[in-house]
Structure 1
Amino acid sequence: MEHNENNPTPENIMKIGTGFWASKILLSAVKFQIFTTLAERKSMSASDIKTHLGFKCTERNVYDYLDALTTFGFLNRDGLLETAMYSNHQDTDFFLDKNKPSYIGGMLEMLNNRLYNFWGTLEEGLLTGLPQNEAKSGGDLFDAIYSDPQKLKEFIHAMSGIQMGNFMGFSQAFDFSKYKTLVDVGGSGALLSLMVAKHQPHMSCVSWDLAAVAPFANENIQKFQLQDRVKTANGDFFKDSFPKADILVTGNILHDWDEETKLMLMKKAYDALPKGGAFVAIENIIDDERNKNAFGLMMSLNMLIETGKGFDYTVSDFKGWANTAGFTSTKVVPLAGPSSAAIAFK
């Protein structure tokens, strides 16, 4: 919003300060599967929703809750209070109905179940420089997630949810004409490979990740019926060399780690690529002036919460690391919202 120095206004201060109220209203609606239920039933009254969800609060509380979701643009409403009928907005119907392949609620579920409480101790993270998640009691974030099948499933769905729009965008915006093979390093649920294979019929893709992840990836590959051109392979990007391919991609991987580890991973990518090959990092690349991509900056702070040492980075940062790793040129392709594909060519 524009700020007039002659007329100070508290509007933006209060909007951001109470931001967790709005956040919790949406996150709880996802948890209650309100949008999935409305996708099935088309429309419902507040009274029907109250009964369906087993709310014990007053009717007025339910009106406030549903009308807040309406004011935010997540629900449509016909009528008022007792006569109101609620239905999904087209965005929530497409992205927050659990029964549609376009569902991105996995990230919102993880925000609610894990990150909401962890972010409550951001001050402690800034004061100590230590993670504020499962690792707080001396463990490791990824050990904690990978050792718990339910947490692992939620994490994979979250990563898929936050990246789906980017993967769709990249699969159509990048020029694949000179390439035939792609390996997604840390490929999680294999969605990037699936999007590329779907939109680029000449491409063969491998989703490369730890063995525990393969069943989830293979389930997605079956759903898309692309078993002929999308495979899974097991490996650990700390211990193993990267598989050789024309294009190597990492999605939300580099930002997990400190600068030294980022550079090590980019050097591994360089070694695995042929001349003319491309390394692609799909993340919330921060603008060089560091004053536009607010989501990228918040995601970078989320890496403090999650890993203690990780951070999101600028275009200039990426260019510098690519140069050090031996790549000859770089470019950035904007994707969905605050995300971009940072590309380094060998």
Structure 2
Amino acid sequence: MAPNTRGTPGPATEVAGPAMPRPLEGAVYGLLATRALELAVRHGVFRELAEHGPSRDGELATALGLDRDTLGRLLTLLRSLEVVTADAEGRYTVPPHSRPYLDGADPRFLGGFLRHLVESTADQLAHLEACLTRGKAAADAALPEPFARIYRDEESTDRFLDAMWQLSFDVSGELVELAGLDRVHHLVDVGGAGGPFAVAALLRRPVLRATVFDLPQVAGRLRQAGLRFRLGARLAFAPGDFHQDELPRGDCLAFGYILSDWPDEVCLELLRKAHRALAPGGLVLVMERLFDEDGYRPLATAAMNLAMHAETQGRHRTAAEYLGLLRRAGFTDCAVRRSGREKHLVLGRRSESALHPPGRWW
């Protein structure tokens, strides 16, 4: 065989290129990873491991009535992701760092959020190409308003409310403490959905009353939460549309995962409505994922920022951007208080000297 005179290695001397960088590998295969994780949650794999301890794929397949080959491949991927581990005998287990998020009895369980990503967000991501090539306004022109689509039927509504509860309820306990609600009598949770923040606040502040203000479709879910936690008349529901209606009066108004659904001009109008509805000296709470000041981290915020471009009309912001919106709306004493999780608190206060018509505020 004639030598390779062009300097390119022949078959016998072919040199393998470097492995794909780990961050790129995670991005390329993320779609399959999310689907595998959601399937394992849906079909009880993690529940079975929690209840019966380390198990081989065949034992799991028999117990759950699943195909062994397919389940084995799912578990292989989840092991590569370090979501599960396996011993020398091939017995799978869920390590401590993953367990709370995969245990349906734990308040940090992410099953509902995963279902929302797979069954709702994944479908909406196809809309990103139209946004990319035509612009968001043109791409959305023929579509219904985002929450008309999200609340289009009972199944879609339940899926969304499950996701919001699982993203919000556990961290809400920490946010209640960060907010300092000791002197608050009436909390109004604007767009509060099934009530994760309102319920968490009521459980920690026995003298507090809370009103969730949201579209009528969520009333049934809120009633269920009130019964489950035995909150009685302390938890109320006020149906309405915050785009069309003024907000209920209170001495604390909360927006949890609300402002990130809307552009700046809508956020500013909602905050001005909150300013009008608050008693003098009252608090407004904005609870959101926050970008670091570099504008691109953390990963979860960047990922959801893209998803929200397809699903809603909003975006995630830095703490400084929310502080700017609060000040433009007339709030003072604005501050940022970060939790140990992905949802943080930005707050402001209505001036004590603000004028208001006479009468009770709650």
TM more than 0.5: yes
For structure 1, which runs of at least 5 residues remain unmatched after alignment?
A: 1-6
Match of 1:204 in 2: 209
C-alpha distance in 2, partners of 1:131/1:217? Answer: 33
Q: Does residue 1:119 correspond to 2:130, yes or no?
A: no
Q: Is 2:210–2:236's contact at 8 Å kept on the other side of the alignment?
A: yes
Which deviates further from its counterpart, 156-165 or 117-126?
Answer: 117-126
Aligned residue-pair number: 333
Distance 1:264 1:111, change over 3 A: same
C-alpha distance in 2, partners of 1:167/1:179? Answer: 16
Q: Is 1:119–1:305's contact at 8 Å kept on the other side of the alignment?
A: yes
For structure 2, which runs of at least 5 residues remain unmatched after alignment?
A: 1-17, 351-362
Q: Does residue 1:65 correspond to 2:74, yes or no?
A: yes
Percent identical? 26
From 315, 324, 335, the equivalent of 1:311 is 315
Q: Does residue 1:25 correspond to 2:36, yes or no?
A: yes
Which deviates further from its counterpart, 247-256 or 234-243?
Answer: 234-243
Match of 1:150 in 2: 155
Q: CA deviation at 1:37?
A: 3.5
TM-score w.r.t. structure 2 length? 0.82
C-alpha distance in 2, partners of 1:277/1:120? Answer: 42
Q: Does residue 1:176 correspond to 2:181, yes or no?
A: yes
Which deviates further from its counterpart, 37-46 or 269-278?
Answer: 37-46
- Report Cα offsets for 1:212-250 as digits up to 9, x if no partner: 101111111211112242222222211221111111001
Q: Is 2:107–2:170's contact at 8 Å kept on the other side of the alignment?
A: no
Which deviates further from its counterpart, 335-344 or 234-243?
Answer: 335-344
Q: Does residue 1:298 correspond to 2:303, yes or no?
A: yes
Residue identity opposite 1:312 in structure 2? H
Q: CA deviation at 1:207?
A: 1.6
Distance 1:14 1:94, change over 3 A: closer
Larger Rg: 2
Match of 2:4 in 1: none
Q: CA deviation at 1:93?
A: 4.3
Match of 2:6 in 1: none
Distance 1:212 1:132, change over 3 A: farther
Distance 1:65 1:104, change over 3 A: closer
TM-score w.r.t. structure 1 length? 0.86
Match of 1:36 in 2: 47
Match of 2:12 in 1: none
Residue identity opposite 1:209 in structure 2? D
C-alpha distance in 1, partners of 2:48/2:221? Answer: 25
Question: Secondary structure, in 3 states, of the residue corresponding to 2:125?
Answer: helix
Distance 1:256 1:57, change over 3 A: same
Runs of 4+ in 1 over 6 A off after TM superposition: none
Q: CA deviation at 1:100?
A: 5.0
Match of 2:102 in 1: 96
Q: Does residue 1:80 correspond to 2:117, yes or no?
A: no
Match of 1:12 in 2: 23
Distance 1:215 1:295, change over 3 A: same
Q: Does residue 1:277 correspond to 2:279, yes or no?
A: no
Q: Is 1:171–1:200's contact at 8 Å kept on the other side of the alignment?
A: no
